[in-house]
């Protein structure tokens, strides 16, 4: 199984880019909660050992790497709200979060490595879209870890306010428990109303009753 390395970063350096940020987002698929993005500029001489795609790491290792990344790298985290997801769409909202994360870095990067196959329209910095980037680029892998830790914490906090949906374990994704809670407990202000399972509960049930 391949692990991310710094080959994409080194290639960008050879083209004259010295400050390279990896950008990733988490939370496109959930039925509830914001979409979260992170931008990370690594010091390639001080990469935390064990850095990998967040999906391949245990929760304990992810948490330790998150702490270390905040210590040794320039890290910025940003979100797009449920309201923005419903107003625009999840793709545009995730790009908004990415744009905000890049804007929040302490210094403007001169090149971006962005996970996925699209570059957000609002980014005026030279960039490359990298499919499965969190498994290929150390900078994107770092961003994937930071974004996931941040969003998971938000969902744990929201779970305290709205118990029963299982957000502390499913992070708002459509698990069986979450779907059943939607039917039994109803829709919260943190649910994405444009997503079909939520939309159907809000509007289809009403149309049937009339």
Q: What is the spatial distance between Cα 178 and Cα 175, in angstroms, rounded to a whole number?
A: 5
Supply the Cα-derived Rg of the chain in whole angstroms: 18
84 carries a ligand binding annotation = no
Q: Is 115 annotated as a binding residue?
A: yes
Determine the angle formed by the axes of helices 138-161 and 59-72, rounding to 10 degrees.
110
CA 86 to chain centre: 17
Distance CA(38)–CA(143), nearest Å, equals 5
Phi first, then psi, for residue 74 (nearest 5°) are: -85, 115
86 known ligand binder: no
- Pseudo-torsion of CA 153, 156, 157, 163, nearest 10°? 170
Closest C-alpha to 90, from 135, 40, 25: 25
Sequence ranges of the binding site: 24-25, 115
Sequence ranges of the binding site for a divalent metal cation: 24-25, 115
């Amino acid at each position: 199984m391949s692990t991310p390395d710094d080959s994409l970063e080194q290639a960008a350096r050879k083209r004259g880019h010295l400050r390279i940020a990896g950008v990733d987002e988490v939370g496109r698929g959930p039925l509830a909660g914001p979409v979260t993005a992170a931008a990370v500029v690594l010091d390639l001489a001080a990469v935390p050992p064990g850095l990998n795609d967040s999906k391949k790491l245990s929760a304990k290792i992810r948490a330790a790497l998150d702490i270390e990344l905040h210590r040794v790298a320039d890290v910025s985290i940003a979100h797009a709200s449920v309201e923005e997801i419903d107003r625009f769409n999840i793709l545009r909202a995730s790009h908004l979060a990415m744009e905000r994360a890049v804007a929040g870095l302490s210094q403007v990067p001169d090149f971006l490595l962005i996970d996925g196959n699209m570059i957000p329209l609002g980014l005026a910095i030279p960039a490359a879209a990298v499919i499965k980037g969190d498994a290929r680029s150390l900078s994107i892998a770092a961003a994937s870890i930071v974004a996931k830790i941040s969003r998971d914490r938000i969902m744990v906090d929201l779970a305290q306010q709205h118990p029963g949906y299982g957000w502390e374990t499913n992070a708002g994704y459509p698990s069986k428990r979450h779907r059943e809670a939607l039917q039994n407990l109803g829709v919260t202000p943190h649910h994405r109303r444009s997503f079909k399972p939520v939309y159907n509960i809000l509007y289809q049930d009403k149309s049937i009753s009339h």
